[in-house]
Amino acid sequence: MQVKAGPGAQCSVGTMESLVLVGLVGLLIAAVAPGIYALRKRMGAGGRKLELWTMLHRRGFTDGDALEEPRPLAMALRRCALCPSVEECRDWLASETREGFDAFCPNARYIHRLER
């Protein structure tokens, strides 16, 4: 089947479908790329412990406290592994303060829930 694309130009339906498919693949790559970048950046850290553990210890928790609820912990670990604020977090941890992580940490709500 042929479809007129303009004066004197013809374009097949198969070509249009291919263009749509290429566009969808491009959107998928654009959606996944930030997560892959963050994960790759994190994995390049030389196997260091995730900052979440240091933050929990700073707030007075043991590893056992966090392990009491495995599903929320798993979600918190995933958020930490994919976090775009790693540098801010490391700076905060280096400051040795206990407050102020709410501004950048995607796990702030999880940590505050543990404190209740």
- In this prediction the pTM is 0.60
Tell me the per-residue pLDDT of 13-67, one tens digit each, with 9 for 90 and over. Answer: 778 888 888 998 888 888 877 766 666 665 555 567 889 999 999 999 988 888 8
End-to-end Cα, the chain, rounded Å:
66
Residue predicted with more confidence, 1 or 50: 50
Q: Looking at the predicted structure, is the pLDDT value of residue 79 above 90? A: yes
- The confidence score (pLDDT) of residue 31 equals 82
- The confidence score (pLDDT) of residue 12 equals 75
User: At what angle are helices 13-43 and 86-95 packed, to 10 degrees?
Assistant: 20
Every domain of the chain and the residues it spans: 2-42, 49-115
Query: Is the distance from CB of 12 to CB of 3 less than 8 angstroms?
Result: yes
